Amino acid sequence: MFPDNQTSQRTGYQQRQLSDRSIQWLFITPTLILLALFNIFPLFYSLYLSFTDFSAIGTAAPVWVGFKNFSTLLNDPQIWKYFATTGRFAFLSVGLQTVLGFALAMLLREKFRGSGLITTLILIPMMLSPVVVGFFWKSIFNPSSGIFNYALGYFHPASAPGPSWLDSSSRALWAVVIVDVWMWTPFVMLLCLSGLNAIPDYLYEAAAIDRASAWFQFWRITLPQVLPLLMIAVLFRTIEAFKSFDLVMGMTGGGPGDSTELVAVNLFRIAFEGQWRTSYASALAYIVLVIIMAISNVYIRNLNKVRGEG
């Protein structure tokens, strides 16, 4: 009686488990197919292409050339210049975003009337499309009709013109940095804010009892407690900065000259302008990927170190 009962229970359980599994597969399979088709296949196909000579608009089949694309790229001083520009852009914009985002988070940390509304308003820029942002900042930077110079105090553009921004090879990168900072500071702020809100009040009570000044509390409690989240924000923003394309494309198209020609912009040009050098572009894309992975690795290692201490 008893063993019988057990067996029937077990078979019932097995049947249900089987059907559970088939349902799981039913849900997962379409996603897997799409992933394989649009992510995994292109990933490996582009890796293959980077070792060939091939143009997507040509009629010739890919011809295996080994490391030729890579050696050409790595020996091209122009490419290194674009990397340097990208590095400068990333350093400036991520640096400013970190400082400003953290400062804003400190301000919004204390709840006051309307602080929720203000937080939401501050978050709006990062919800906009980068291309749209690029286009309307282009108008804002316009020396004769834009509001940017007006805000800086140049009220009569006809008689006393202010500095030109997007047409100046020395200022164009700064203009892009300003817009990127405007757009992505809220993201850093958001992460910092959640980090700040997670610091328990009793740490500050203990610090007050321990006779720590506000400054001492900031350096010894607030900053180390927020650091893990702050580093995640910096990591995300750095990766994004290395991939920056749409904003720059909308604002300057890489110009004037090549003063804002970021790697991603140049990559686009190689791949989809002129002769469509698909295999050469694939090789460049892989170089960018390796660099991003290297930077991320350094970050994540430091992050784990900070976390381990926390």
Partner 1 sequence: MAQIELKQVAKKFGDVYAVQPMDLTIQDGEFVALLGPSGCGKTTTLRMISGLEAVSSGQILIDGQDVTWNHPSARDIAFVFQFFALYPHMTVRQNIAFTLEAQKVPKAQVEKRVFDVARLLQIEHLLRLRPKALSGGDRQRVTLARALVRHPKAFLMDEPLGALDADFRATMRAEIKRLHLAQHATTVYVTHDQIEAMAMSDRIVIMSNARVQQIGTPAQVYYDPANLFVARFIGSPGMNLVKGRYTNGMVQLPGANQLPLPERWQAAIANQLSSEDVVLGFRPEAAKISADGVLNTQVYASALHGAYAMLHLALDGEKGETMTHVRAAKNTIYPIGTPLRFDLDPQMVRFFDPKTELALTLA
Q: Give the x/- contact pattern for partner 1 in 222-261, rule: CB under 8 A.
A: --xx------------------------------------
Question: Which of 27/202 has CB closer to partner 1?
Answer: 202
Interaction of residue 288 with partner 1, rule CB under 8 A: no
Query: How far apart are alpha carbons 74 and 132 in whole angstroms?
Result: 34
The least CB distance from residue 123 to partner 1, in Å, is 29
95: buried, middle or exposed (CB in 10 Å: 19+, 13-18, 0-12)? middle
- By CB under 8 A, which span of 118-126, 199-207, 236-244, 282-290 interacts with partner 1? 199-207
Q: Which of 136, 216, 218, 272 binds partner 1 (CB under 8 A)?
A: 216
Contacts of 41 (CB under 8 A, 6+ apart): none
Q: Give the x/- contact pattern for partner 1 in 103-142, rule: CB under 8 A.
A: ----------------------------------------
Q: Which of 202, 257, 273, 301 binds partner 1 (CB under 8 A)?
A: 202
122: buried, middle or exposed (CB in 10 Å: 19+, 13-18, 0-12)? middle
What is the DSSP code string of 124-156?
GGGGS-HHHHHHHHHHHH-TTT-HHHHHHT---
Q: Which of 14, 35, 210, 302 binds partner 1 (CB under 8 A)?
A: 210
Distance, first Cα to last Cα, the chain: 58
Q: Which of 6, 161, 205, 304 binds partner 1 (CB under 8 A)?
A: 205
Pull the structure tokens for residue 193. Answer: 């804010």
The least CB distance from residue 307 to partner 1, in Å, is 10
Interaction of residue 273 with partner 1, rule CB under 8 A: no
Helix (H/G/I), strand (E/B), else coil: 260: coil
